[in-house]
Amino acid sequence: CAMIQEKHKSSAMLTHGFYFLRVQFELWDSDDPVPRKELLQKVKGVDGLLCVLTEKIDAELLDAAGPNLKVLSTMSVGFDHLSLEELKKRGIRVGYTPDVLTDAVAELTVALLLTTSRRLIEATHEAKTGGWGTWRTLWLCGHELANSTVGIFGLGRIGVAIAERLAPFKVKKFIYTDMAPRPELASAINAEFVSFDELAKQSDFLAVCCALTPETKEICNKNLFSKMKNTSIFINTSRGGVVNQEDLYEALSTGQIAGAGLDVTVPEPLPTSHPLFTLKNCVILPHIASASYTTRNAMSSLAANNLLLGLRGQPMIKELKL
């Protein structure tokens, strides 16, 4: 988190050296989130704010910042941590970081899908703890991508990138659901638009790539899981809030679906006592989809450039239109 004031004497340079802007900035120099109390104190009077998805940008914080705040830049593609109506009401411009993390998220999604479907975490545990004995016919058998139907919920750039990476595994068919058909994106992967119910019924692998909105909050619930095949694999690398975790636990523990791979949960971090951690058929990662050196550096650069361009009153590289 960085707070910027324009009116002081020190200098900050745009990442690629395009121009200089005289600013005073204060940086929270830790990998841990800035404590809320401290953030509310430090944000007073700032002209710009650079944040990550752990900071809740709401009316309380914007009131604490005061009228000088005119630009917010978030180092994330998601913006469910931002109170968009409050930002719009106050005329505060918002930068974000889409596109630069597409490849990293798509790669991680495929890795998580394969890890879950081929039971790699279980297999590693068995090898480490002495469970690896003589060859057994059905021991640690999983589910193949070959000749399968892959469903994508929320067909954006990431959904397309996931499908492009899965196609060489001889997937038979790609289907998707979104707010409306997206023929241009779908044509790139030869995907068919279907209803939400059909997505559940047909998918052997279901990847969730949608944004978290009031319409998608906990949309992946018992209604969805009850329609899925008992051999299906559920993968979520979007936002934890789109899944009802109690319903997911029930579906996994009763064999209603075969497995789930999650990179996102509610809350984050998920308490180690959570029931999902007791299941062998649930793989949980600590929200690392964009965690490659290349992508995090690109996100940092884009977030900084968005902020500085916004402070100059110029078009941002990636601005969220409110």
**Residue found under tokens 């007791």:** 278
How high is the pLDDT of residue 6?
53
Cβ 243 vs Cβ 218: under 8 Å: yes
pLDDT of residue 277: 98
How many Å apart are CA 48 and CA 74, to the nearest integer? 11
Token pair in block for residue 233: 């694999």
Any bridge partners for residue 72, and if so which?
49, 94
Strand partners, 283: 261
Please give the pLDDT value at position 16.
45
Active site residues: 287
CB 163 within 8 A of CB 150: yes
Is 185 within 8 Å of 163 (Cβ atoms)? no
Per-residue pLDDT of the chain (322 residues; tens, 9 = 90+): 666 655 433 344 444 444 455 667 888 888 888 999 999 999 999 999 999 999 999 999 999 999 999 999 999 999 999 999 999 999 999 999 999 999 999 999 999 999 999 999 999 999 999 999 999 999 999 999 999 999 999 999 999 999 999 999 999 999 999 999 999 999 999 999 999 999 999 999 999 999 999 999 999 999 999 999 999 999 999 999 999 999 999 999 999 999 999 999 999 999 999 999 999 999 999 999 999 999 999 999 999 999 999 999 999 999 999 9
CA triple 259-199-157, angle to 5 deg = 90
Q: Give the global pTM.
A: 0.88
Task: Quote the Cα angle for 286-241-156, to 5°.
Answer: 85
Q: Given phi > 0 = left and psi -120 to 50 = alpha, else beta, which region is 77?
A: alpha
